[in-house]
A and B are shown apart, each in its own frame.
Chain A
């Protein structure tokens, strides 16, 4: 009897092991362990056996039943794995195909550099001041100690608009300096501001555009001297050009709104066709500056006996060109998609002092 059961067990285990797929395995399960299955039938047939055999046969059958159930489950798992593997193998894709598009915009170099400037000067305690592009003659010239006969007021440099009803000549501001005047007339000293913005000169050639961007600084206090001016500009240049040292040279110059006035050169060299700022034997002029002329303070109602300070101005486009190696000023304003993509900045690259101004 036990031999029969052993034979049945071996036969059924062989069937399970030979099942080709999950459906075949299920058919085997039903044919063995199902209601009408062979094991089930054997179990049913136990009653007809003599009582002395019944117990032993029952135990053996139960053993076989468990064994089969286990084997079927194990086989099911392995068949499932094999089927999954086969399916996955058939589902391969070409991972080299290009991704779905996510158009990437760019930030213009002028905007990026503006954000860099703001980050640096914020750290030095400056705030940003702004003013209108269309200025009156008083704010753009007279209050800045630019007398009526000064060459800068002549037609070749300044864009004029029709005069105001009260006869005041109107101009497109030739520098951001009128915002100094507006700031000093609107609030009492001390001041520590930077003024970025659009500026205009009727000039157009290889290196000049009728519109360009300037950033200007103004510091007014009781004991601010030219050493502070040098310290401020040195700190700015080191931070902006992201170098440890910048050689600097102050040359005496002349601007009507500062006295004394200076032009500032920074050290530079050309290596393999690329400009290096800060090092080398060359000099590169980057800005004009000076101590605010007492006449300007007087025009703003600030007592020059009590207050003094410095101002500087430089071209945003120019320092952007120097830092990022952009060759042509005119291209800044041409909106060529290829240029914007190449020289522009990824929008998530927001300049900070903690994370660095640029990659």
Chain B
């Protein structure tokens, strides 16, 4: 919301300085966005007299001007065709930065003639695009005077951010009222003297609604004018509109815009000669259209309020007028409309038709119903003053009166809710100054507060507290520490909530870079990872690249890896811990720790060669995460089956029981990488963190007692020949289970296929560590345990010891 200082002072009697006013605006919730003080910006530019303009001896298009600045005579070379002897213009001395071009003026020599300073055009002054010539000022413009003052540009323009609840401050008067309440001056009375009409309006007004739609337009006040002379508005009005960024059109149109910004009261003017009365507010009919003032044709329907005559819709109520009945310079008869339109319907209409207008902006926030008549009277006087003519008696349909909003209020709530002390008397003054009615009710400390008609946002006691607090000043609020709940702090995170950070740090320790990627991805890619459901598709994505909720984090990470590869980084190790979505319910959102690796496991190095990453790296990542989050890794089953986006032969799942999948890992399917247009190979993994069961709550943090022997442990190696399809897991499980009392560790140290091993077979060599309990293991005991291992592995897998 923009306005000028002098405009504000039409409503506010104040001596406060500009900065005092702007600081106070922010302090009471009307946040200052910008203030443009053009008198200061344009200070170097002054009125100058061109004593003589002669042809430049060496350039056809240039003139050499002798300029009187009021304090000196300087020579300026000027290219403007209208530079001539005797004129008055705008002079900028050397050392000035020209606002329109950003250039710093320096003394110069142009084709042999000295030039000191510049005579400026409107474009150079940053005032308009006009650049056909230099600015010509009136002959009586005082020599040497600041140009800003002479041009009426010395009125500072203030721009504030009005929150959606404060429609009343979408008019200058409301802002003045707030400032007055905050102690910055006195609100001047509003002159809304009734202008008596001299004839009956030839156009009647009617509200034509079915009961359900009666709220669409609850009041329509109108008035007819005749004998008008429409034309440009007076200079003061044009300047104010220009200052706030509005284009002056003609007096009749400018008046409606002015009252909209002055009082927050939108109006509309019809060219009465083009209206085929009576003037009706009604719902539009499907099939009707309107060519609006913005030159666009809008389709209408039964949800849209229109002002219509016998010709059909003439304007979209509260949103925009129609071109057919719009006022022009030729208008001599006019019909002025001040109506009340339903905020919600106005908002919905504006949104559906895509129309932003000053009227819509105000009506959808709820204009002051009590301002219907004063607004019309004030506009009437402006019309008669600027355009002459005479006006009719007013015509009214409906009523602007609604029930007053009354709120029970306890002044003590200000202290209770805000923590500041504001005396009851001060509270009463603040509320009265803001236009609230205050009455005692039912004993001390209970007030009945009546909201002013312009504050439709007031809902309850908390709103009254806010009014008092913001005017009293939020700077009165004292910092108060929250009472401590316990002497030492308790954990903020439950066990499950600690897991994401544990997973992240475990993966980063393994050399992976943590990423954060969008929760969405292109739908066509989502389908590659088991997604693409209709109910996870965004209805209004910002682009088709971000239109589906991701079923897996892998797709975005693969694309991220691709971007890094494109930048020349072939070796990539990325992970993300975040949500993935299988359906739109809260349960359909799962937390995944997902990562991928591509390229080699390190850079080329003088001491050791890097190798290509493989599925076992991904498996190691998975186990690192599961260990870090405290999942029961020893109880996991591992199987060579993984979702379709993995290489079918080089991927696995880690399960707890037959159904609970904790993680999948493996080489990514080459077709998936192809579709994402990223070169592989790549390995990846996905750990579903929430699928890992939480440890049982324990009463004690004691560890189990450590039982170890000082007696030497023994290691024994076995090489088994098994079928190619036999898994290492099966061999290890059987070996571990052969004698749980003594076998503490079993591991694979060699896998071999080829010469000496039969076709379809492989050799798997394992080593087992045996730990004695009470006495050193004898050879006989060791042999017995070894035999058990051979037997158990043989029984489980058909393995035989390699000969």
A-side residues, CB < 8 A to B, are 97-98, 100-108, 110-111, 114-115, 118, 121-128, 130-134, 148-151, 154-155, 159-162, 164, 170, 172, 192, 194, 198, 200, 202-204, 210-211, 219, 223-228, 230-232, 234-235, 249-254, 259-263, 291, 293-295, 308, 332-337, 340-341, 344, 346-348, 350
Closest 3 CB pairs of A and B: A103-B511, A252-B29, A227-B419
- Give the contact stretch, choosing among B98-106, B471-479, B646-654: B471-479
25 A-B pairs with CB atoms under 8 Å apart are A102-B511, A105-B573, A111-B577, A114-B501, A124-B484, A133-B579, A154-B351, A159-B540, A159-B541, A161-B539, A198-B579, A223-B416, A226-B469, A227-B477, A228-B480, A228-B481, A230-B477, A234-B479, A235-B481, A259-B466, A308-B417, A333-B516, A335-B517, A347-B504, A348-B509
Q: Which residues of B contact A105 (CB under 8 A)?
A: 507-514, 573
B440 touches A (CB below 8 Å): no
- Give the contact stretch, choosing among B605-613, B703-711, B780-788: B605-613
CB pair A106–B482 under 8 Å, yes or no, is no
B5 touches A (CB below 8 Å): no
Q: Which residues of A contact B492 (CB under 8 A)?
A: 118, 121-122, 126-128, 194
Closest chain-B Cβ to A315's Cβ sits at a distance in Å of 14
Q: Which residue of B lies closest to A222 (CB)?
A: B416
Chain B 160-176 residues near chain A, CB threshold 8 A:
163-166
Q: A159-B538, A254-B166, A341-B513 are in contact. Are A122 and B419 (CB under 8 A)?
A: no
CB pair B480–A260 under 8 Å, yes or no, is no
Q: Which residues of B contact A97 (CB under 8 A)?
A: 606-607
CB pair B489–A344 under 8 Å, yes or no, is no
Q: Which residue of B lies closest to A263 (CB)?
A: B31
CA A249 to CA B540, docked complex, whole Å: 37
Q: A210-B518, A227-B479, A254-B165 are in contact. Are A164 and B584 (CB under 8 A)?
A: yes
Q: Which residues of A contact B420 (CB under 8 A)?
A: 226-227
CB pair A104–B540 under 8 Å, yes or no, is no
CA A106 to CA B511, docked complex, whole Å: 8
Closest chain-A Cβ to B577's Cβ sits at a distance in Å of 8
B249 touches A (CB below 8 Å): no
CA A344 to CA B469, docked complex, whole Å: 43
B671-691, CB under 8 A of A: which get 1 and which 0?
000000000000000000000
Most chain A CB within a 10 A radius of its CB, from B459, B514, B520:
B514
Which of A124, A134, A151, A262 touches B549 (beta carbons < 8 Å)?
A134
CB pair A251–B482 under 8 Å, yes or no, is no
Q: Which residues of B contact A333 (CB under 8 A)?
A: 516-518
CB pair A225–B514 under 8 Å, yes or no, is no
Q: A130-B497, A132-B586 are in contact. Are A334 and B563 (CB under 8 A)?
A: yes
CA A249 to CA B259, docked complex, whole Å: 35
Q: A105-B513, A254-B163 are in contact. Are A133 and B462 (CB under 8 A)?
A: no
CB pair B477–A226 under 8 Å, yes or no, is yes
B475-504, CB under 8 A of A: which get 1 and which 0?
101111110111001111110010001001
CA A341 to CA B515, docked complex, whole Å: 11
CB pair B347–A149 under 8 Å, yes or no, is yes
Closest chain-A Cβ to B351's Cβ sits at a distance in Å of 6
B519 touches A (CB below 8 Å): yes
CA A324 to CA B470, docked complex, whole Å: 34
CA A224 to CA B481, docked complex, whole Å: 10
Which of B418, B474, B516 touches A251 (beta carbons < 8 Å)?
B474
Which of B347, B489, B513, B542 touches A123 (beta carbons < 8 Å)?
B489
Q: Which residues of B contact A235 (CB under 8 A)?
A: 481
Q: Known pairs A108-B514, A227-B479. 20 more at Cβ < 8 A?
A: A100-B605, A107-B504, A108-B515, A122-B491, A127-B494, A132-B586, A161-B536, A162-B539, A192-B485, A202-B540, A225-B480, A226-B418, A230-B478, A231-B480, A250-B477, A252-B29, A263-B31, A334-B563, A335-B513, A347-B508
CA A335 to CA B581, docked complex, whole Å: 21
CA A232 to CA B484, docked complex, whole Å: 12
B364 touches A (CB below 8 Å): yes
CB pair A226–B419 under 8 Å, yes or no, is yes
CA A316 to CA B385, docked complex, whole Å: 57
CB pair B417–A101 under 8 Å, yes or no, is no
B247 touches A (CB below 8 Å): no
Q: Which residues of B contact A335 (CB under 8 A)?
A: 513, 515, 517, 557, 560-561, 563-564, 574
Chain B 530-589 residues near chain A, CB threshold 8 A:
534-542, 546, 549, 557, 560-561, 563-564, 567, 569, 572-574, 577-579, 581, 584-586, 588-589
B460 touches A (CB below 8 Å): yes
Most chain B CB within a 10 A radius of its CB, from A108, A118, A223:
A108
B-side residues, CB < 8 A to A, are 26-29, 31, 163-166, 343-344, 347-348, 351, 364, 415-420, 459-463, 465-466, 469-470, 474-475, 477-482, 484-486, 489-494, 497, 501, 504-520, 534-542, 546, 549, 557, 560-561, 563-564, 567, 569, 572-574, 577-579, 581, 584-586, 588-589, 601-603, 605-608
Q: Which residues of A contact B538 (CB under 8 A)?
A: 159-161, 172
CB pair B470–A252 under 8 Å, yes or no, is yes
Most chain A CB within a 10 A radius of its CB, from B519, B572, B577:
B519
CB pair B515–A149 under 8 Å, yes or no, is no
CA A231 to CA B477, docked complex, whole Å: 10
CA A133 to CA B582, docked complex, whole Å: 12
CB pair B486–A100 under 8 Å, yes or no, is no
CA A345 to CA B407, docked complex, whole Å: 54
Closest chain-A Cβ to B635's Cβ sits at a distance in Å of 27
Q: A106-B513, A133-B579, A211-B519 are in contact. Are A260 and B584 (CB under 8 A)?
A: no
Most chain A CB within a 10 A radius of its CB, from B420, B461, B481, B486:
B481
Closest chain-B Cβ to A141's Cβ sits at a distance in Å of 14
Q: A125-B484, A161-B538, A252-B29 are in contact. Are A115 and B477 (CB under 8 A)?
A: no
Q: Which residue of A lies closest to B343 (CB)?
A: A149
Which of B463, B512, B602, B607 touches A259 (beta carbons < 8 Å)?
B463
CB pair A340–B534 under 8 Å, yes or no, is no
Which of A133, A192, A344 touches B514 (beta carbons < 8 Å)?
A344
CA A130 to CA B496, docked complex, whole Å: 11
Closest chain-B Cβ to A317's Cβ sits at a distance in Å of 9
Q: Which residues of A contact B416 (CB under 8 A)?
A: 223, 225, 308
CA A110 to CA B577, docked complex, whole Å: 11
CB pair A252–B474 under 8 Å, yes or no, is yes
CA A148 to CA B343, docked complex, whole Å: 12
Q: Which residue of B lies closest to A229 (CB)?
A: B477
Q: Which residue of A lies closest to B463 (CB)?
A: A259
CA A347 to CA B343, docked complex, whole Å: 54
Q: Which residues of B contact A347 (CB under 8 A)?
A: 504-506, 508-509
CB pair A125–B490 under 8 Å, yes or no, is yes
CB pair A262–B573 under 8 Å, yes or no, is no
Q: Which residues of A contact B518 (CB under 8 A)?
A: 210-211, 333
Q: Which residues of A contact B481 (CB under 8 A)?
A: 228, 231-232, 235
Q: Which residues of A contact B474 (CB under 8 A)?
A: 250-252, 262
CB pair A108–B516 under 8 Å, yes or no, is yes
Q: Which residue of B lies closest to A162 (CB)?
A: B535
Q: Which residues of A contact B557 (CB under 8 A)?
A: 335
Which of A148, A250, A336 touches B564 (beta carbons < 8 Å)?
A336
Q: Which residues of A contact B463 (CB under 8 A)?
A: 259
Most chain B CB within a 10 A radius of its CB, from A150, A154, A161, A231:
A161
Most chain B CB within a 10 A radius of its CB, from A98, A200, A259:
A259
Closest chain-B Cβ to A348's Cβ sits at a distance in Å of 7
Q: Which residue of A lies closest to B577 (CB)?
A: A111
Q: Which residues of B contact A108 (CB under 8 A)?
A: 504, 514-516
